Every structure is written in C-alpha cells, then in structure tokens.
Amino acid sequence: MSFVYQPTDEQPEVLHADHEVLVVSKPPGLLSVPGRGEDRTDCLIERLRGAFPTVLLVHRLDMDTSGVMVFGLTPHAQRNLSKQFEDRKTKKTYIARLWGRMSEKSGKVDLPLIVDWPNRPRQMVCHETGRPAQTDWRVIRANDSETRVRLSPVTGRSHQLRVHMASLGHPILGDPLYASGAAADFPRLMLHAESLRFKHPETGVMQSFTAPAPF
C-alpha cells in the first residue's frame, strides 16, 4: 500500500520571533520541508514563508513528530544555529509514549544507525557501518500497558529515537515504521519535541523554548 500524504489542517504555533530567529511548534502530520512530487509541497517551511519570507531551514522533525523547531531568518543565523546543532551545543528533549512497562527508571541507548536501503526511509542498527548514536531516557510514569518517557538525544540521527526505543522492545506508540500490531494502532506517532535550548546567534545568550506535549 503506497503512502498518500494528507497534511494536517492544524497550523504551526509561533513561540518566538525576532529579526534573527523564528521558533515554532510543528503540528504532527506535516513535513518540515517539501517532499518529492507536487503532492508533497505543503509543508511547515512553506506555511511559515507567508509571514516570514526570509525563513531558512536549520534542522528537521519527522513528519509524524510534533514540537519545537527553530529556523534562521538571516543567513548568519542559519549558519550559526546549524553549527550549534552540528557541534551538539543545543539541548533537546522529547516526550514519548512507549509500548509496555519499562523495568528500569532510566538508561542510555548507544547503538549505531544506518539507513536500511531496501526498506528506506527505515533506519536500522548496524555495528559494522552504522554512525554512532546515543539517547538518554528517563521514565516519567508507567502502567502495565505503556510507559511515558523523556528522551534526550545526544546525537541527531534520522529516526534515532524511534529505532532506539524499538530496540529496547518498547516501540513508540503509533509508529508506522517500527511498531506493529496494537502498538501501531494509534491516531498519531506519540513523539513530541518538548524543548529546545540554544544560544541566540546574535547575542550569544542561552535561550530555551518549550511546547507541552499534546498527548
């Protein structure tokens, strides 16, 4: 069954805007940037362009993930913020609902990831050729059917949080790629970028922005 892109009608929420940076909360079900094909042109950055014509991409969230994203509004801001992401100077936290009860209260996943070429965009763990990937996790609360966690990615690999949680035997609820059966049967991917911390590209002052999880 081929994927049909049906972007959400929900609009992004502007959390902060100045002459250098734009911070928004992305709704789930919306691409960060245009995909391939005319049917995938509706995306977050295009929706923002009307009000912020100079908006420039710094990082992405998966289509199914909601939450905080930062954009540059000048080439300088884009370069500066991109370098902060590259050098792991930013701090990101996510909220996720996972399948099953986790037995530990916290932990770290350290598993290298690589694209699963025959099944892309899926990613997979590969100890031979994968790129290093680390995720810290901490349980917020749990019951017999699911666990709510706060995730702090150390690296920023594609699908990192989704693959890492699935590798623990606790896939993120509603994940169309890495969950199956009842774990996949949710109206959306239960993953939300809760907070983002970075230095303002002009002032150098550390700033933090938060959007509470909608689930």
Domain limits of the chain? Answer: 94-191
Res 22: pLDDT: 98
Task: Provide φ and ψ at 26, rounded to 5°.
Answer: -80, 135
pTM as predicted = 0.96
Res 1: pLDDT: 56
Q: Are the C-beta atoms of residues 173 and 190 closer than 8 Å to each other?
A: yes
Q: How far apart are the first and last CA of the chain?
A: 28
Res 3: pLDDT: 80
Give the residue from 169, 155, 156, 165 showing the smallest Cα distance to 189. Answer: 165
DSSP-derived secondary structure letter, 40: G
Distance of CA 125 to the CA centre of its chain: 18
One-letter identity of residue 155: T
Q: Are the C-beta atoms of residues 157 and 107 closer than 8 Å to each other?
A: no
Give dist(CA 130, CA 132) in Å, integer: 6
Res 127: pLDDT: 98
Residues catalogued as catalytic: 62
Coil vs helix vs strand at 140: strand
Strands 191-199 and 66-72 turn out to be parallel
Low-confidence ranges of the chain (pLDDT < 70): 1-2
Topology of 94-191 in CATH? Pseudouridine synthase (3.30.2350)
Res 133: pLDDT: 98
Res 54: pLDDT: 98
Facing residues of 141 across strands?
148
Coil vs helix vs strand at 141: strand
From the number of C-beta atoms within 10 Å of its C-beta (0-12, 13-18, 19+), residue 133 rates as buried
Res 193: pLDDT: 98
